[in-house]
Chains A and B, each alone.
Chain A
Amino acid sequence: MKTSTRQVNGVTIVDCSGRITLGEGSVILKDVVRELLSKGQKKILLNLGDVNYIDSSGIGELVSAFTTVRNQGGELKLLNLTKKVHDLLQITKLYTVFDVKDDEASAVKSFS
């Protein structure tokens, strides 16, 4: 997986591409979120538009990122899910746990 980050109106958008799976993909996601939190950037929008595959480990890492950010008083939201990722979150009942957005501008505005 590859990631790049950008700032939009106080929100850090993390553009992710590739696979979030056991091993490298999950580790990269964990490191990115940890680094953002260490810099005080607690409004995080994960753009998963180019993520076409997530396994159970990747799902676990998304959950971990979500709870870690929340526990530090921040917010982590998901943007632009592919159909495969959307379906995975549906069957694992996580779709309603995460705040999922499909428009970047309104997603950025939705952060408190």
Chain B
Amino acid sequence: MAKQPPVGTRSSEDSGSTKLYPKIFAMTEQRVSYTLDSTLETVDSAEQAASRIASEAGFDDDEVMRIAMAVREAAVNAVLHGNAYDPGKKVSLAFEQTGGNLVITIRDQGKGLDLEKIPDPLAPENLLKTSGRGIFLIRSFMDEVHISPSQTGTEIKLVKHVHGPSEGVKEASQ
């Protein structure tokens, strides 16, 4: 079955054809990146790409689901809270397998996430809030999460150890 990359513009970092994309991690070139519109379709596409790439990198089904969900939440963050659906702003998404890690970077062009303003979703007073769980879930599902806000946007770097022990869902901390 033919596999499709996410909607958007594919960068030139992977010079192979689109058809070679699913085998990216079997090749010497180990990075692929996309520039995506600030739309809901981008969120779905990012999740699907993450699922495919994580699966090809050898993760089991549960880990693939966690990685894909973390990427989905990061994409939601970029599209909604970062770029606020602004058609003039883009989301960049990159997958890289390096040093035994799967590294995924999502960057938006928004005003920069204010980490101080993200409440702890596990605090009793926040349990019944209808939002504010995205970053928490990302931290729960990945081995490392690096969030770098700036005035020109926020970059979220997600790391999963390819050959690490099966850890299950970790206790997350804010």
Give chain A's interface residues, CB within 8 Å of chain B: 21-23, 55-57, 59-61, 63-64, 66-67, 84, 87-88, 91-94, 97
Interface size on B, residues (CB 8 A): 22
The yes or no answer to B27 lying at the interface (CB within 8 A) is no
The yes or no answer to B156 lying at the interface (CB within 8 A) is no
Q: How far is the CB of A95 from chain B (nearest CB, A)?
A: 11
Report chain B residues within 8 Å CB of A23.
Answer: 40, 43
Say what secondary structure dominates the interface of chain A. Answer: helix
Contact yes or no, B76 A56, CB < 8 A:
yes
CB-defined A-B contacts under 8 Å, sample of 18:
A21-B72, A22-B43, A22-B80, A56-B73, A56-B133, A56-B134, A56-B137, A57-B76, A57-B131, A60-B130, A63-B128, A64-B130, A66-B128, A84-B65, A91-B172, A93-B122, A94-B127, A97-B127
Q: How far is the CB of A93 from chain B (nearest CB, A)?
A: 5
Contact yes or no, B169 A55, CB < 8 A:
no
